[in-house]
Chains A and B, each alone.
Chain A
Amino acid sequence: MGKQLLIGLCLLIATVTQAVAEEIVLGLSKDTVSINTSFDGSEILIFGAVKRESQIIYDPRLQVIITVAGPNEPFTVRRKEKRFGIWINTDAVDVDSAPTFYAVSTSTALGLSLSDTEDLRHKVSIPRAIRSVGAPDTVGDASSFTEALIRIKSASNQYQLNEGTISVDDQTLFRTSIQLPAALTEGDYKTRIFLTRGGDVVSMYETSLYVRKVGLERWLFRMSRENALLYGLMSLAIAIAAGWGASAAFRLIKS
């Protein structure tokens, strides 16, 4: 079984390398997003060109799909139900791993530019990017929980499906911009670019976008983890000093 899988994998790699007649040359407006105190979301420009040795094929047309995925985290989705006249959390489903941020941009409708098989293989669409197994037996409709996760995350712009936002010129140059929300988690944001023809992926390029806290933000964050006791005492000292300061200031104003 394992051996067969290995051979299959080798064959797959062989076909993929063969198929790369069109390569991606990529540019990012910035490869690091710095989170400082005044950080209020960020826009990244992703642009690139298709390098090819052969003639441009006009049918099927070249389509571009770009995904940006934040670090994965496990989540618990809970559902409320009315019991004894009040609304309480009853069922819960653990989502093993879901990206904290996920954006899919396409040059045309996702359903047209990517076949279901390729979506399954590369995990491009939002539902596929979420890994959820093992809902408890008591929960019949586990899929409604993943749907709820996507719905809530989409409402806060954490999950985005931007269909038709990539502009492609002469099947060679492409560009798009992705809006990162203000509530952004630190980490490496895996960025993938797919070239597809007739729903099949013909080329893929992967790079990382680094989202980092800088300056004061970084210093405080690290201190809170590495020097928790000191951090706690510092918080208290600030609180006491501020309390005393306000009191003294008000006495001065009065006298």
Chain B
Amino acid sequence: MQIYLPIAEVSVNAFLLLGLGGIVGVLSGMFGVGGGFLMTPLLFFIGIPPAVAVATEANQIVASSFSGVLAHLRRKTVDLRMGTVLLIGGLVGAALGVVVFNYLKAQGQVDLLVKLCYVVFLGIIGGLMFIESLNAIRKTKSGKPPARKKHNWIHGLPFKMRFRVSGLYISVIPPLLVGVSVGILAAIMGVGGGFIMVPAMIYLLGMPTKVVVGTSLFQIIFVTAFTTMLHATTNFTVDIVLAVLLLVGGVIGAQIGTRIGVKMKAEQLRILLAMMVLAVCGKLALDLLLQPAELYSIGATGGH
């Protein structure tokens, strides 16, 4: 069934969009990522103009993360306090990121920078997570208890706060800094930042994997809602018909994903996320390294 999208001004297959939304929704519920880093390239591929894809994707993520958070709230796997601290940092970071983005746009080659950012960050995060979770799986198999709760310099910082759900008593400075840096990257790369936030919470803040997913989704809702409004009022690129098709699939997928995620072991969850991140990274790296079939591309005028 073909549907004409009023803002994107293209006609697409409705079932294809429902399916795409569903698959990305499952991943979102399982791993606590928004799925923007997967969905945006997929939308480009089926012929949605990039500006519309990025803006509409943000709106769809609001829906799937809200659906996911509700499921996590009932399981009490959302650390609202930690989420709020990360969010405050995230919004500050996003505002800074927009300034950086505009500066880079004036210098040219912003597309390339975004792609390189993706490859570098996805590569590092995916690689580290993969190795770590592989080791963790080996350790549990050999019967040794996993080493946790290392006492390091982070615990010496002031402004300590108790995060009951995560079982942490740490300074608010590290989570704020994580929020800010993820916010900056998210604004530059045009995504919610879940795939950076999740590993950061696990490895930098030492939060338990089960709590991380819900907490990440919680803060993604606000960041992407903010982005949606920004795009809708300045660029007029949010396509509500496209968003509805994607989010119907997405919210159902998120519910299924959450249920799958709960049944899985933390190490398995992490290794799957790592593999997915590495796959996207590989695809983007190939795009940069291999000669494209069409060397030329058409874009709207402005911003070389």
Contact = CB atoms under 8 A, between A and B. Distances in A.
Contacts of A35: 4
A234 B231 CA distance: 13
B238 A244 contact: no
B240 A240 contact: no
Contact of A40 (B4, B233, B236): B4
Contacts of A41: 11
A92 interface: yes
B251 interface: yes
Interface stretch (B148-156, B172-180, B265-273, B292-300): B292-300
Interface in A231-255: 231-236, 238-240, 242-247, 250-251
A254 B289 CA distance: 48
Contacts of A153: 298
A242 B291 CA distance: 42
Interface in B1-56: 1-4, 6-7, 9-11, 47
B225 A236 contact: yes
B251 A224 contact: no
Nearest to B243: A235
A239 B292 contact: no
B302 interface: yes
A121 interface: no
A242 B25 CA distance: 13
A182 B241 contact: no
B258 to A, nearest CB: 9
A245 B4 CA distance: 25
Interface stretch (A13-21, A57-65, A72-80, A168-176): A72-80
B261 to A, nearest CB: 14
Interface of A: 35-41, 73-82, 85-89, 92, 94, 145, 148-149, 151-153, 182-186, 213, 216-218, 220-221, 224-225, 228-229, 231-236, 238-240, 242-247, 250-251
